Amino acid sequence: MVANSLIKPSSDPLTDSLADRWTTVTGGLPPRARLLAVSKGHPAASIRAVASLGQQAFGESRLQEAVEKQALLSDLKLQWHFIGRLQRNKVRGVVKSFSVIHSVDSFALAERVSRIAVEEGCCPDVLLQVKFREDPPKGGMEPSELLSAWPQLCALPSMRLMGLMTMAPLGLEGEERQSLFVECRSLADQLGLPDCSMGMSGDWTEAVAAGSTWLRLGSAVFGQRDVPKPGAG
C-alpha cells in the first residue's frame, strides 16, 4: 500500500477527489483487511486514477463491462474480482477473465466452475457465498448446507477455496450486522479458510471489527455512479 505522504498532489480534480476518498478508507484499515475497489459502473479512467494511488484489486459484476475495461487497462498489473451473482451461462467468461470469484453460491455452481476451469487451464480463487439470515433476494448456501457439502467441495479440482462471502440484509442495525459478520468469520475459521469477503460502503466498519479480509467498497472510493436522466442521450 502506498503511504499517504507519498501521494503527490494532482491538478486533476477527479484524481484529487478519488485520492481523498481512497486514503480516508485505506488509512484506517488494519493489516488483515484489504480494500476491493468496486468499479462496476465507473469508467476505466477512474480505475486508472485509483490504481495510480497503489490500488490493485478491483471488483466488477457485469462480465461484458469488465472485459471492455480490462482491455483498456491491460498495461496495468491489476487483480480482477468477480462480485456479482454468477449465472451458469457466464461461468466460462468469468473463469477466463477473473482471478478471484466471490459469488459461488451453491455446490452445483462450484462443480461447474471447477469443470470449466479444468477445460480452460485456469485455477481461480473462490469464495463461497453463505447466507446467515433469511434474505430472499440474495443467493447463498445455508451454513449447514455448506458444512454438509464441504468434503465434496474440497475435492473439486482447479479452484482454490479461499474463503466465504456474505452480505447483510437491508434493514439490520449496526450490532445485528456485526453479529452476522462474526458468524461468517467464525465459520471461515472453523473450515480453515483465510478470507472473509464482507462489508460494503454502508457497513464496512462493522465488517472490519468482525475480521473481514476483503471490503467491497464502491461509492466510498469512487463516489456515486452517474445515473442517466430520462431522455438523456
- Per-residue model confidence as pLDDT tens digits over 30-48: 999 999 999 999 999 999 9
**Nearest C-alpha neighbor of 204 from the set 194, 190, 218:** 218
What is residue 137's predicted lDDT score, i.e. its pLDDT? 79
In this structure, is residue 23 part of a structural domain? no
In this structure, is residue 11 part of a structural domain? no
Helix 174-190 / helix 143-154 crossing angle, nearest 10 deg: 30
In this structure, is residue 26 part of a structural domain? no
* Interval 157-184: pLDDT, tens: 999 999 999 999 888 888 899 999 999 9
Where does the pLDDT of residue 10 fall: very low under 50, low under 70, confident under 90, or very high at 90 and above? very low
Q: At residue 70, what are phi and psi to the nearest 5 degrees?
A: -60, -40
Total domains, the chain: 1
In this structure, is residue 233 part of a structural domain? no
In this structure, is residue 53 part of a structural domain? yes
| CATH number of domain containing 207 | 3.20.20.10
In this structure, is residue 18 part of a structural domain? no
Q: Residue 94 burial by CB count (10 A; 0-12/13-18/19+): exposed, middle or buried?
A: buried
Give the mean model confidence (pLDDT) for residues 108-117.
98
In this structure, is residue 231 part of a structural domain? no
> Where in the sequence is the domain holding 126, given as residue range(s)?
33-222
Give the mean model confidence (pLDDT) for residues 179-190.
97
* Interval 67-77: pLDDT, tens: 999 999 999 99
Asked whether residue 233 carries a pLDDT value surpassing 60, the answer given is: no
Cell of 183: 458468524
In this structure, is residue 8 part of a structural domain? no
